[in-house]
Amino acid sequence: MRIVWSKKLLLWLLLAALMVTALTLGLVFGLKNRDTLYISGAVVSNGIGCAAVGGEMLTDGGSAVDAAIATLLCEGLLLPHSMGIGGGFVATIYTRSSRKVETVIARESAPAAAHKDMFVGETSITGAKSGAVPGEILGYWEMHRRYGILPWKRLFEPSIKLAREGHVVSRYLAAAIQSKLDNIKADPGLSAVFLNATGDPHLEGDYMKRPALADTLERIAENGAKEFYDGGETGRKFVEDIQKMGGIITEQDLRDYTVRWESDGHVSAHVSGTYTLYSTPMPSSGPVLAFILNLMADLYTDNEPIYWQRVVEAFKHAYGQRTNLGDMYADPVSAASINATLEEMLKPEFLESVRKLIHDNSTSEDYLYYGANFTVEEDHGTAHMNVLATNGDAVSITSTINNYFGSKVASTQTGIILNDEMDDFSTPGVINGFGVPASPANYIYPGKRPMSSMSPCIIVDQEGNVRLLVGAAGGTRITTSVAAVIMKYLLRKESLTAAVNNGRLHHQLAPMRVSYEQEVDSSVTDYLKQVGHEMYEEPVGSSFAAVTAIGALEQPEPFYDRRRIGSALTLAKTNKMQH
């Protein structure tokens, strides 16, 4: 029996060996042409369904910039209260093959007839007069000329279809309509879009069409940026409508508008010894974000309460420096002082002197202690999106029309909602509620762009691989929110979900208090209170900035904030098996 069993065992072992050999040969020879799929690209957007529009462009062979433009056009329809072609944007672009970084400043600029005293004595800044010269379309056009692969018209097709055939009103848009209903009813252009046939506001789930904007997008798709900026029908109609409502934008302002590119002037910061951050220069808050991260580079500790005390103090010093910043490229009066502040902020010696002012067991309520003599106007609603293409190229863009529905007026002939970026400038003689005067660095000047909290950034490792794209929407809390997510994800090694969704802290110097969400650990808030900070717990549902990010420490992971709606898409790349 033993001999028979041994023979059977040997026979089974021989058969098993033959099967393994056959399988191995099959994998090597029979399956050698199979492809493996892995996630290598991603798009994330604040607009529901807009990430899919960007992904469609990448799938069709388009570039990261193609995908970004198509996504933003979609966001202008799905998030018309936050951004659109009547606004402006700032962008950071990264090319993986060359490791080249370029930034685009297509932020709105003051019209030629604007002056620093134009809003003195006015209690609110709204209406057509509050509109600055839009930069959105020219910014898209120039990015496409430099980085586009697909035809310009192709990028517009999904959004023209949405505008013509209609889209579902989201919960977020319905709430925005309700919050500004009086303004909407007061303006014919907005009423035509956001009220239904019976004169009632569109509700969540309603279907909304924008035929006038569809016509406008078709003309721009056919004729390029000149359709708006250089004597085209759209530009003429837009100016005609805005001037009838009291605006000061002229066709010459449109012709004179320029997009600013920076190849060497982008902002960078070291995030630990491994990662480098790239972001946009003035008048965005890229320099403010870089200042926070550079300050914190030597202040890391595993002690959670002490770490966040240091972060809060870094926020306060950063916002103190921010009060002395503005658009130095179009302000002959303040340019020298703005440039001096910017240069000082980047010096290692200055950073070290500021670190010595940060203490673990005390704080100050003196604005001068943090380098501030003035205040800067708050900015408001925005939208942010990121694209990571399968070839490693990346684009991070934040776009805005400022407050909800911008200036609260729309051009009836074009369907374009006008921004209210003039509200982002400071006005002489205005003392804010905290007794701090307005900032001369941010006074109105023709052609000048107002200071902004927008700070779209791309972070790469030492090999040049993109590891994080991040930006946010939500006014002055953008910069601290982006900084917090970067520190949590890359330094404190939290997951991207936790880094974006967990509770946040914010301090912008004025008001002199720490705002925090209820999810922040009580050990941190109790310690900050013990140190001497005034603490303010934000009501549930209040507007902390909404972050959108793509983490890529491993495979790309697009993620949008629980604080706002959005959409995310990943792309698989085919890779031939190597043998």
Active site members: 382
With a CB cutoff of 8 Å and minimum separation 6, the contacts of 327 are: 282, 283, 338, 448, 449, 450, 451
* CB-based contact 99:259 (threshold 8 Å): no
Strands 260-262, 207-208: pairing is unpaired
Cα–Cα distance measured from residue 71 to residue 398, given in angstroms and rounded to the nearest whole number: 12
| Residue 88 three-state SS | strand
| Distance, CA of 335 to chain centre | 26
452 annotated as a binding-site residue: yes
Residue 411 structure tokens? 């051009």
The total of other beta-carbon atoms located within 10 Å of residue 389's CB is 27
Q: What is the largest CA-CA distance in the chain?
A: 109
Taking the alpha carbons of 138, 141, 142, 143 in that order, is the dihedral positive or negative? positive
280 annotated as a binding-site residue: no
Residue 108 structure tokens? 């709105």
Residue 163 structure tokens? 């505008």
Residue 577 structure tokens? 């098996």
With a CB cutoff of 8 Å and minimum separation 6, the contacts of 483 are: 289, 292, 293, 311, 315
Cα–Cα distance measured from residue 194 to residue 208, given in angstroms and rounded to the nearest whole number: 8
* CB-based contact 473:384 (threshold 8 Å): yes
* CB-based contact 101:430 (threshold 8 Å): no
164 annotated as a binding-site residue: no
HEC string for 356-367 = CCCCCCCCCCCH
400 annotated as a binding-site residue: yes
User: Between helices 335-346 and 286-296, what is the axis angle to 10°?
Assistant: 30
Taking the chain, what is the end-to-end CA distance rounded to the nearest angstrom? Answer: 46
* CB-based contact 129:246 (threshold 8 Å): yes
Cα–Cα distance measured from residue 182 to residue 173, given in angstroms and rounded to the nearest whole number: 15
567 annotated as a binding-site residue: no
Own/partner long-range contacts of 254-257 (Cβ < 8 Å, ≥24 apart): 254/133, 254/228, 254/229, 254/230, 255/229, 255/230, 255/231, 256/112, 256/447, 257/109, 257/133, 257/134, 257/135, 257/138, 257/229
- The amino acid at residue 525 is T
Residue linked to tokens 């759209």: 234
Strands 557-560, 382-388: pairing is unpaired
423 annotated as a binding-site residue: no
401 annotated as a binding-site residue: yes
With a CB cutoff of 8 Å and minimum separation 6, the contacts of 315 are: 292, 480, 483, 505, 506, 507, 508, 509
Binding region: 107, 400-402, 424, 452-453, 475
Residues making up the binding site for L-glutamate: 107, 400-402, 424, 452-453, 475
